[in-house]
Amino acid sequence: MEDAIRAFMSFLDVERNASAETIRNYRSDLRQLTSFLAGTGHASRLIQVDHVTAEDIRAYLHQLDRKGEKASSLARKLAAVRSFYRFLLREGSVQKNPADDIRSPKLPKPLPRVLAKDDAGALMEFPEGRSSLSLRDRALLETLYSTGARVSEAVGINVGDLDEGEGLVRLRGKGRKERVIPIGDVATRAIRAYRQSLGSESLERHPAAPLFLNHRGGRLTTRSVARIVSRYSSRLAGGAVSPHALRHSYATHLLDEGADLRSIQEMLGHASLSTTQKYTHLAGDRLAAVYDHAHPRARSVTTALPRKDQKPS
């Protein structure tokens, strides 16, 4: 087996141009598997690559798990074994990859950073000046924070999707599912200022034309949005954030102000309530009214929505 590991390391180095750290980690992981197999009754010199079974690999990972190895470490070790046998399959040294049927451990997905409300407000103010690009960036940031839209949904907004009079916007989400959700007055004013900066032609554009344009007049891309958000948010004390952090902040701030979980689910476009439950556990009332009362950049109101733990006076 040691000869096969050496050949695999050479393959990673020469053909894959893998980093020295990757090669070092994979070598260590595969030798750890060899040591485990030797300790289970196989003599080290008799361990043949085509004799290793899925049960052997599961037992190896189970032992590591019992020793307290992190899920990320187990996933990497399994990836090393899987890649090793993929190489051996290509070389004709084995007939099957024993790691193919083994599921990787589920890794916890860390939630994006939540901006403090003051930081979110400051971020909206960072695009300065009256140029069309500055006004576009301001309108884009306001839209992301005001609607909780995914980046792909925000760049997919067309001129005809915005109903300023009703304070609503149509978003196209995953699986081409559409939803109409509230958008705050602050965001709609920013969008209006941006469109006015483009001239009268922009105000008369076809309803199917993109709302947010790049400097060449085409639809803004998700990658461009990520760069825009990163550029402005890098000025915050906590450093740059991803566009998804604005979506996460949107939901968290609504919940902080008493919005119910079902309404948040509908506005975020989550198919399952369990996806929304990563934010908190609340229940409650209607959609647009909740939004207007709860979101810090929606319409100005004089009464606040009572929190779950407050009794009406």
Cβ neighbours, 10 Å, residue 229: 23
Q: Which helix (H) or strand (E) holds 172?
A: strand 168-172
Q: Do residues 80 and 45 lie in contact, with contact meaning Cβ atoms separated by under 8 Å?
A: no
Rounded to a whole number, what is the distance in angstroms from the first to the last CA of the chain?
A: 76
3-state secondary structure of 99: coil
What is the longest distance spanned by two Cα atoms in the chain? 81
Active site residues: 150, 174, 244, 247, 270, 279
Tokens coding 61:
């990972």
Q: Do residues 78 and 102 lie in contact, with contact meaning Cβ atoms separated by under 8 Å?
A: yes
Task: State the amino acid at position 70 in one-letter form.
Answer: K
- Calculate the CA 20 to chain-centre distance: 29
